[in-house]
């Protein structure tokens, strides 16, 4: 369980995180979304006390991270792949981490096995690929068998098989009752993995909720309509105040209305329809829409 309460982080005059509050709950995968530079990594670093918030509180299981003794047993974090000396082997890296938190040596072998690095565990990590570095980072996070996991862009550099593996791993960790927080710029990935989403832009919370809620909130809902009389229907729709665009196959896409209203309008005018289908925004589109609003808001506020 992670709780942020009105957290602000300033670097000089730059506000990286601005009054952010949200929770990461047990038994769920919480997707943490935001464009580059929106304050995701800063937020995650504050959760594990690497950076101190300028104001507000961050707690893990009700306590500030810096008050935790042997915190790897409570929180496992992957904040950047390869936070490791290149001359040290993966096994030695995990070994010192385990020792620092009084975790058994056997556990090191277990997580190496679990992330698929057992065979290269004794090689210098400097020669690791991005994907291997990422797997080592995940091994680090799992080391203390923690109830809370915090993963910043875990699928970065992984091949499709690795991505699938991460997805299943995160789902199973949440199913075991753990709190899982994952940041990613791959929205489609979040749709498959996350239960809830926390969306931030410019350090501020834009929205949070279930994946369906967040997609629903985005106002890009549109209707696709195919007809033998596109020009006539278009002018009727435009007159009714809708925005209309034409697809490559000649069908119209109408935004700002519902399939029902388009159907009534066409029926009243006696226009034949071949197809009338509501288009729900993809997570990607919802995300773009939501964060664009944030950017506009910020610009407007500054003016």
Interface residues with other proteins (CB under 8 A)?
Answer: 26-27, 45, 48-52, 61, 65-74, 77, 79-80, 82-89, 92-93, 95-97, 99-102, 140, 145-148, 172, 175-178
Find residue 109's DSSP bridge partners.
Answer: none
Name the minimum Å distance from CB 248 to other proteins: 46
Contact 273, 238 (CB under 8 A): no
User: Closest distance between other proteins and the C-beta of residue 58, in Å?
Assistant: 12
Shortest spacing between CB 242 and other proteins, in angstroms:
48
| Contact between residue 257 and residue 239 where contact means Cβ atoms under 8 Å apart | no
Shortest distance in whole angstroms from residue 113 CB to other proteins:
18
Dihedral angle sign, alpha carbons of residues 46, 49, 51, 57: positive
Q: Closer to other proteins at the Cβ: 87 or 270?
A: 87
- Residue 19: count of CB within 10 angstroms of its CB: 15
124: DSSP letter: B
Helix ranges (H only) for the chain are 40-47, 90-100, 105-114, 130-142, 160-175, 187-193, 211-217, 230-239, 259-268, 283-302
Q: Are the beta carbons of 130 and 157 closer than 8 angstroms?
A: yes
Residue (42 or 257) nearer to other proteins, CB: 42
In the complex with other proteins, which residue's Cβ is closer, 57 or 219?
A: 57
CB of 73 to other proteins, least distance (A): 5
Q: How far apart are CA 149 and CA 209, in angstroms?
A: 19
Q: Does residue 31 contact residue 170 with C-beta atoms inside 8 Å?
A: no
Nearer to other proteins, 94 or 281 (CB): 94
Cβ-based nearer residue to other proteins, 100 or 272 = 100
Query: Cα(first)–Cα(last) distance of the chain, in Å?
Result: 39
CB of 196 to other proteins, least distance (A): 18
Nearer to other proteins, 52 or 130 (CB): 52
**108 or 218: CB nearest other proteins:** 108
CB of 159 to other proteins, least distance (A): 24
Give the three-class secondary structure for 109: helix
């Amino acid at each position: 369980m992670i709780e942020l309460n009105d957290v602000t982080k300033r670097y000089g005059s730059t506000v990286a995180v601005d009054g952010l509050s949200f929770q990461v709950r047990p038994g769920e995968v919480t997707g943490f979304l935001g464009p580059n530079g929106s304050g995701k990594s800063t937020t995650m670093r504050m959760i594990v006390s690497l950076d101190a918030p300028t104001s507000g509180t961050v707690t893990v299981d009700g306590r500030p991270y810096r008050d935790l003794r042997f915190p790897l047993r409570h929180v496992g974090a992957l904040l950047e792949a390869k936070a490791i000396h290149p001359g040290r082997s993966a096994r030695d890296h995990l070994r010192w981490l385990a020792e620092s938190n009084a975790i058994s040596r056997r556990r090191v072998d277990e997580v190496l096995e679990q992330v698929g690095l057992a065979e290269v565990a004794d090689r210098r990590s400097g020669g690791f690929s991005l994907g291997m570095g990422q797997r080592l980072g995940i091994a680090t996070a799992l080391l203390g068998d923690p109830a809370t996991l915090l993963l910043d862009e875990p699928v970065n550099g992984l091949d499709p098989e690795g991505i699938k593996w991460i997805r299943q791993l995160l789902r199973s960790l949440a199913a075991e009752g753990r709190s899982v927080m994952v940041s990613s710029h791959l929205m489609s990935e979040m749709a498959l993995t996350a239960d809830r989403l926390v969306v931030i832009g410019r350090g501020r919370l834009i929205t949070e909720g279930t994946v369906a809620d967040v997609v629903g909130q985005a106002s890009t809902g549109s209707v696709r309509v195919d007809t033998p009389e596109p020009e006539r229907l278009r002018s009727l729709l435009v007159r009714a105040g809708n925005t209309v665009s034409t697809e490559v196959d000649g069908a119209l896409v109408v935004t700002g209305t519902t399939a029902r209203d388009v159907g009534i309008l066409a029926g009243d005018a006696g226009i034949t329809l071949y197809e009338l289908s509501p288009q729900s925004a993809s997570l990607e589109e919802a995300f773009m829409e939501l964060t664009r609003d944030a950017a506009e808001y910020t610009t407007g506020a500054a003016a």
